[in-house]
Structure 1
Amino acid sequence: MSVLEVTGLDVHYGLRRHRRQALAGASLTVEPGEIVGLIGETGSGKSTFARAVLGLVRPSAGRIVVDGEDVSGHRDRQWRALRRRGVLQYVFQDPLRSLDPDLTIADSLLEPLLLKGIPRVEAVERARGYLPRVRLDEELLPRLPGELSGGQRQRVAVARALITEPKLVILDEPVSALDAANRVQVLEILKDLRDTGIALVFISHDLGSVAGIADRVAVLYQGSVVEVGPARDVIAAPEHPYTKLLVGSAPTLRMAAAGRAEREALRALLNA
């Protein structure tokens, strides 16, 4: 059973003549333990897609199924119950938006576990055990978010999203605000999650950020998913004109995915 099934999703903003369509028939499935990169330019509908799946905006049409539960028509109370179960989690682009500035790192990690009804002693042990998984030291637990670097805060945000052992985590541009060293660390952490069974949707405008960790790539253009396939195939042989444009703007990606003969041909083309 797919952990996420989105079919024919339409989302509109505004009223009457100022009504604007943000998503138009977008469809995507995500399997347990799979990493799917959702790629598109600014304004393509990526964040709207995430917000719809999270229940933060109501679709005009279409169907959303999370872990076998049709959430398309859920009311606020039903969404709250789903979130408290920890089935679905979200990581923001800006680490400062992910964490309450007045809560210590320990309290931020404990909060979702206590809401789920896990006893405090067990929750404390789980919080301690999750820090090494995101390459952080236990000594950070009593600190406030403002006392951490941006990279540390984002890794805490990832730990907080994972700590309830959700079925699906949506990450909205999780490395775009980080420097190169922290970006690599976060990407490596996400790549290591394949063995946990947690599914990830990695939203980005940068194909290069997800090419090395995604099992599949979905390309979003003007509110519609125009191409989906294994990351290697999409990079080596893009079909949609927009995907070709994305790959063409980062020729080293296509070079890395190609076979020997194709690499030689690409080098000749690039050096022409």
Structure 2
Amino acid sequence: MTVLEVTGLDVHYGLRRQRRQALAGASLAVERGEVVGLIGETGSGKSTLARAVLGLVRPSAGRIVIDGEDVSGYGERQWRSLRRRGVVQYVFQDPLRSLDPDLSIADSLVEPLLIQGVPRAAAEAKARTFLAKVRLDEELLPRLPGELSGGQRQRVAVARALVTEPKLVILDEPVSALDAANRVQVLEILKDLRAAGIALVFISHDLGSVAGIADRIAVLYQGELVEVGSARDIVVTPQHPYTRLLISSAPTLSTASAGRAEREALRALLTA
């Protein structure tokens, strides 16, 4: 089942002479239980594509379908209703900034459920369940985000995205600010989500970060999707010069510099 379908998407910023095209004819589909890596350098259009899918940027042209629902012409009220239903969720790169510093972890997790009208007791029970799914102990629930480590905060951000049981989760550089141990933990959690049937879009500037987990990889260059293919094909037989440049500059694609879990994932990918 196709969870996300983007067709011929154009996005422009600015007006008249300052008008700049951020996306040009982008087309991409994501299936249920699939991980798609969205790769490109800063300014390539990765975040613009994500923001368009979330209704935060209005496309100049194109079509967006989320879980069978054509949202291309939605107004703000319709987008607000879709977000409250939690069909699509977003995990930011910096969880310290995305989590309210004055809310406990428990309150951060139950907030989206209370907005949906879930009773408080049921919301708190669900919060505990999803905290366990990201491999965190419920003793963290009364703490504030500033009292947690970076890796713990990122996993809380993932748990908050999951409590509404979304069909699609977009993750913006979810491991770039983490050390090797926490990076591996978050990647293992993402594998669990894929097995549970959740569609994931993993945004990164580093091809090596997603090569071992993505089913397919889409490469953005100057606002255009220049190459889309299986992770193995992209890594082993890249077609576009920009993709080849990304591979040559990705240190984590070297099994000598990767951690054990990353080495195993990459070895499985390259020998599949």
Same fold (TM over 0.5): yes
Distance 1:179 1:259 in 2: 27
Mean CA deviation greater in 244-253 or 182-191: 244-253
Partner secondary structure for residue 2 of structure 2: coil
Contact 1:38 1:220 in 2 (8 A): yes
**Is this contact kept in 2: 1:235–1:254, CA < 8 A?**
no
Q: Which moved more, 1:177-186 or 1:251-260?
A: 251-260
Per the alignment, residue 18 of structure 2 pairs with 18
Correspondence for 1:270 = none
Find the counterpart in structure 1 of residue 160 from structure 2. 160
Q: CA deviation at 1:170?
A: 0.4
In 2, distance between residues paired with 1:46 and 1:250? 18
Partner of 1:3, secondary structure, is strand
Which residue number in structure 2 is paired with residue 78 of structure 1? 78
Farther-moved stretch of structure 1 (108-117 vs 49-58): 108-117
The answer to which of 50-59 and 180-189 deviates more is 180-189
Letter in 1 for 2:25: G
Match runs of 1:126-141 below 5 Å: 126-141=126-141
How many correspondences in the alignment? Answer: 260
Distance 2:209 2:252 in 1: 13
- Equivalent residue number for residue 150 of structure 1: 150
Assess if the C-alpha contact under 8 Å between 1:39 and 1:207 holds in 2. Answer: yes
Across the aligned residues of Structure 1 and Structure 2, the Cα RMSD in angstroms comes to 1.6
How far apart, in 1, do the equivalents of 2:25 and 2:252 lie?
32
Per-residue CA shift, 1:204-253, capped at 9, x if unaligned?
Answer: 00011101111111111111111111101111111111111111223773
Q: Is the partner of 1:177 in helix, strand or coil?
A: coil
**Structure 2 partner of 1:52:** 52
State the structure with more CA Rg: 1
TM-score, scaled relative to structure 1 = 0.92
Which SS does the other structure have where 2:96 is aligned? helix
Contact 2:41 2:221 in 1 (8 A): yes
Q: Show structure 1 runs of 5+ residues with no match.
A: 261-272
Distance 2:71 2:112 in 1: 21
Q: What SS is found at the alignment partner of 2:107?
A: helix
In the TM superposition, residue 127 of structure 1 has moved relative to its aligned partner by: 0.7
Query: AA paired with 1:78?
Result: Q
In percent, how many aligned pairs have the same letter? 82
Does structure 1 conserve the Cα–Cα contact (< 8 Å) formed by 2:206 and 2:250?
Answer: no
